[in-house]
Chain A
């Protein structure tokens, strides 16, 4: 059967966050110089009119988020400043095809994507539109967000819209039933784990089958709690080594809690780990707010979270806040319209409208925009506001190419914590390959 691979290529269960590495790798080639050279020769300057509709290539394929962005564009069109249309692509397809979109001769104008090093990566290849003049109007945004949106050469290439947070989520009713409180420090956290284990509940839920990247949240958090955010960023940028004793210290902490992990967590993806948490089969779960989309509606009111416990009080508190937003293609034929649309997305009313109609628990990035009116969201926002530093997530602070090295190393560590020295040496070696590119 010659076409066997075609048929089996559609395998929704496995095409998660970092699904098809083969395709992703291909995308990486696409972004390479080979193709950007090709693309410029592919066809001459396009002859479309500059006042045409701005096309947004969107990866917001979940029904609520899709509706939310479509509504937003509808209200933009009503303002009469220009027209825009949304083009929603399955998020997994989008991830692998994004380099192709950007390097094509006649690319879409605007893209949903991530701030930080990912955007910087594309900017360094000259693929992104300089939106510094949009940022001149965004004076109310905090400096941290502006830094995230700035590329290595100092110009802004990204306009953020929302972010979300990570934390230990749990069911209030279960914590009440077990008679336990939210821990603040690492010692309290260990005591809580011990109590839950004594009651026969696996304390820490996790879901690594098909979604091994979830383990990176543990690495990120332990690293920013033990070594601080600046070291974490340098490590992920290739300026520090993974076999450094400071990194090993992270895993020493991790080993202290490893016995409390749900043993079944290696087998199922995080969506099922969510189900286990809600059914009271695990005590708590370090996860991003997006997991709530996998919860039945009647359980939402019962959810609460606490911040990753403080390990070293001397280290400034940092939190993970992955920031989503937009960047534009450098080849857009309608830069004015694209920038107008970006200005709208950055505004208070657009972000409030988006947050309202997308059911996920997301926070507007504009400091004056009101978040959804729920105690959980208020708590999350307060946590991020009080943080001294923000990081995003492993792949967003480094590259998608580095993520698989983390997945391998962390999964191995959870299986065989004794071999940590060998695992870290191996991690450093594969990371070096990625950085050499």
Chain B
């Protein structure tokens, strides 16, 4: 009896909690199918008095969301691959070999991450101009890789350090060089961590707004977050179109998360228990 009550309370509580989490999402979806006049007449908070899917068309065509999504993926995919690849190599070297000053290198990388990005906006903008990359997607990729690298290396280092040394020794005895050990032993073993980091970094880079508006200034090169911002007018915004645009922009990250969900949960627990 008590157990039943306990389960019941637990489930009711959890349902309410999930509703609390899902509430804003549902609200955005509801808002995205309302017409402009409905929102203007009844306010953003009211229940829908209209139904339209035209908002999605407006966000897609007038808002230029197709181009923005393409730009976003052009930035995000190479950035994720490049930063994770470089971070994995660095982590491998730092964790498995006695490189002089490896602790300092790692701490330095981590220290860079503790710096608030805001104070680096102007240097980054000026530097991208100096190198002639300003206002190109390449600049954005470089910035994303540069800023992600320290953190990814740190996480992967922690993971690789805990892999048993015997595996590496066995591979060495079998005649494998460092490159082979890295590619054929370490990388497959690091897969859960890579998948978790991949999903995380995808979301971070995809959702980034700050760096995009710092190094880009042409509208048709903007990724999806600044493009969403551009749906706002100077004074008045069509909230339903913005909501529709937001829903569209959320699809890629949700897809990536669903795909990597399993790895993500197992990956997060990595390093929790020694």
Interface residues of A (CB under 8 A from B): 2-3, 5-7, 9-10, 12, 15, 17, 22, 26, 29-30, 35, 38-39, 42-43, 57, 59-63, 65, 87-93, 96-97, 100-101, 104-106, 108, 271-272, 274-275, 278-279, 288, 290-291, 293-299
Contact, CB under 8 Å: A90 / B226: yes
Contact, CB under 8 Å: B235 / A293: yes
What would be 18 A-B contacts, judged by CB atoms less than 8 Å apart?
Answer: A10-B207, A10-B225, A12-B237, A29-B122, A30-B122, A59-B234, A61-B231, A62-B232, A62-B234, A90-B232, A100-B125, A275-B40, A279-B41, A290-B236, A291-B235, A294-B235, A296-B36, A296-B41
Name the residue on B nearest A86 (C-beta): B219
Interface presence of B218 (CB below 8 A): yes
Query: Which chain A residues lie closer than 8 Å to B23 at the CB level?
Result: none
Query: Which chain B residues lie closer than 8 Å to A106 at the CB level?
Result: 129, 134
Residue of B118, B132, B204 touching A7 (CB-CB under 8 A): B204
- Closest CB of chain B to A19's CB: distance in Å? 10
Interface presence of B87 (CB below 8 A): no
Q: Cα distance A31–B209 when bound, in Å?
A: 22
Interface presence of B238 (CB below 8 A): yes
Q: Cα distance A39–B242 when bound, in Å?
A: 36
Query: Which chain A residues lie closer than 8 Å to B237 at the CB level?
Result: 12, 62, 271
Contact, CB under 8 Å: A10 / B228: yes
Query: Which chain A residues lie closer than 8 Å to B38 at the CB level?
Result: 296
Of the listed residues A9, A90, A93, A271, the one surrounded by the most CB atoms of chain B closer than 10 A to its CB is: A90
Residue of B122, B213, B235, B238 touching A35 (CB-CB under 8 A): B122
* Binary A-proximity of B25-44 (CB < 8 A = 1, otherwise 0): 00000000000111011111
Contact, CB under 8 Å: A22 / B234: no
Q: Cα distance A154–B208 when bound, in Å?
A: 43
- Closest CB of chain B to A39's CB: distance in Å? 8
Q: Cα distance A79–B59 when bound, in Å?
A: 32
Name the residue on B nearest A95 (C-beta): B234
Query: Which chain A residues lie closer than 8 Å to B151 at the CB level?
Result: 2
Contact, CB under 8 Å: B217 / A42: no
Contact, CB under 8 Å: A43 / B129: yes
Q: Cα distance A87–B210 when bound, in Å?
A: 19
- Closest CB of chain A to B46's CB: distance in Å? 9
Q: Cα distance A296–B217 when bound, in Å?
A: 33
- Closest CB of chain A to B49's CB: distance in Å? 11
Interface presence of B9 (CB below 8 A): no
Given A5-B117, A10-B229, A17-B235: 18 more A-B contacts, CB < 8 Å: A6-B209, A12-B229, A30-B122, A42-B126, A61-B231, A62-B235, A62-B237, A89-B230, A90-B232, A100-B214, A101-B217, A108-B217, A271-B236, A275-B41, A278-B41, A290-B236, A293-B236, A296-B38
Interface presence of B130 (CB below 8 A): yes
Residue of B37, B118, B207, B234 touching A60 (CB-CB under 8 A): B234
Interface presence of B113 (CB below 8 A): yes
Contact, CB under 8 Å: B125 / A93: no
Contact, CB under 8 Å: B210 / A61: no
Of the listed residues B41, B44, B62, B122, the one surrounded by the most CB atoms of chain A closer than 10 A to its CB is: B122
Q: Cα distance A436–B105 when bound, in Å?
A: 43
Contact, CB under 8 Å: A57 / B217: yes
Contact, CB under 8 Å: A3 / B234: no
Query: Which chain A residues lie closer than 8 Å to B134 at the CB level?
Result: 104, 106
Contact, CB under 8 Å: B236 / A87: no
Q: Cα distance A35–B125 when bound, in Å?
A: 11
Interface presence of B177 (CB below 8 A): no
Query: Which chain A residues lie closer than 8 Å to B228 at the CB level?
Result: 10, 12
Query: Which chain B residues lie closer than 8 Å to A101 at the CB level?
Result: 217
Of the listed residues A17, A294, A298, the one surrounded by the most CB atoms of chain B closer than 10 A to its CB is: A294
Contact, CB under 8 Å: B219 / A93: no
Residue of B118, B219, B229 touching A92 (CB-CB under 8 A): B229
Query: Which chain A residues lie closer than 8 Å to B204 at the CB level?
Result: 3, 6-7
Contact, CB under 8 Å: A6 / B230: no
Contact, CB under 8 Å: A88 / B238: no
Name the residue on A nearest B63 (C-beta): A63
Interface presence of B100 (CB below 8 A): no
Residue of A2, A92, A294 touching B40 (CB-CB under 8 A): A294
Q: Cα distance A92–B233 when bound, in Å?
A: 9
Name the residue on B nearest A59 (C-beta): B234
Query: Which chain A residues lie closer than 8 Å to B236 at the CB level?
Result: 62, 271, 290-291, 293-294
Q: Cα distance A297–B126 when bound, in Å?
A: 46
Residue of A12, A87, A96, A105 touching B129 (CB-CB under 8 A): A105
Name the residue on B nearest A61 (C-beta): B230
Interface presence of B90 (CB below 8 A): no
Interface presence of B121 (CB below 8 A): yes
Q: Cα distance A3–B79 when bound, in Å?
A: 15
Query: Which chain B residues lie closer than 8 Å to A29 at the CB level?
Result: 122
Residue of B40, B229, B238 touching A93 (CB-CB under 8 A): B229
- Closest CB of chain A to B6's CB: distance in Å? 33
Name the residue on B nearest A29 (C-beta): B122
Q: Cα distance A10–B207 when bound, in Å?
A: 8
Name the residue on A nearest B151 (C-beta): A2
Contact, CB under 8 Å: B209 / A10: yes
Q: Cα distance A275–B234 when bound, in Å?
A: 18
Query: Which chain B residues lie closer than 8 Å to A57 at the CB level?
Result: 217
Of the listed residues A42, A89, A106, the one surrounded by the most CB atoms of chain B closer than 10 A to its CB is: A89
Name the residue on A nearest B230 (C-beta): A90
- Closest CB of chain A to B214's CB: distance in Å? 8
Q: Cα distance A295–B42 when bound, in Å?
A: 10
Residue of A39, A87, A91 touching B232 (CB-CB under 8 A): A91
Of the listed residues B43, B121, B151, B217, the one surrounded by the most CB atoms of chain A closer than 10 A to its CB is: B217
Name the residue on A nearest B218 (C-beta): A87
Contact, CB under 8 Å: B234 / A61: yes
- Closest CB of chain A to B221's CB: distance in Å? 10
